[in-house]
A = this chain, B = another copy of it.
Amino acid sequence: MNLTSDLQSFVLHFGEMGSRWGINRTVGQMYALLFLSENPLNADQISETLNLSRSNVSMGLKELQAWQLVRLQHLPGDRKDYFSTPEDTLDIALTLIQERRKRELDPTLSLLRDTLLDSDGAESNGYAYGRMQEMCDLMEQVARWSDKLQQMDRNSLENVLKLANVTHKLIGLKANWSLKSNPDRS
């Protein structure tokens, strides 16, 4: 398969960005290719289009599956595995948030909770433990916020993004009211 210049650029760019996103260059390229492709692709097609070894593509696809960023499917009358990305970009964004949280937040949150729970050292070095507590609190809030996002329906989610500017005003005006109208919250 051959890519036009624009698509080629996008794929290469995505590869470079990949390293900033915690995936490597070739995995980034594979993802970009699948994202742009109207039809699902098999490993050989990817390998050929991007000039990567078949084994590298196999590992890359495994990683993309671990990230839940591609889905495996089969085409009728073809034994090969085919891969594609979700059609809805919002779905993709949600997955990205969830997976990054899992990798970047949860391990630290877990360590902080453990440390703070059985810390007799809390008095001996008050400042540092206070700091860890602050970080823990903040991370818990972000984690809860991420959970909420995942639960929201598509429509509300679009509104959260579109109306970010409005939310600010709403909260400013209505924060107290909101609390009152939700008496089931501690």
Contact = CB atoms under 8 A, between A and B. Distances in A.
A9 B159 contact: no
Contacts of A10: 111-112, 115, 132
A131 B168 contact: no
B124 A4 contact: yes
Contacts of A129: 6
A17 B134 CA distance: 18
17 contacts: A4-B125, A10-B132, A13-B107, A13-B111, A20-B22, A22-B22, A37-B128, A38-B127, A93-B138, A141-B161, A152-B168, A156-B168, A160-B167, A160-B171, A167-B167, A167-B171, A170-B174
Given A17-B107, A36-B127, 11 more contacts: A4-B121, A13-B108, A17-B108, A20-B22, A89-B137, A145-B161, A148-B165, A159-B175, A163-B175, A166-B178, A166-B181
A111 B167 contact: no
A103 B16 CA distance: 12
A51 interface: no
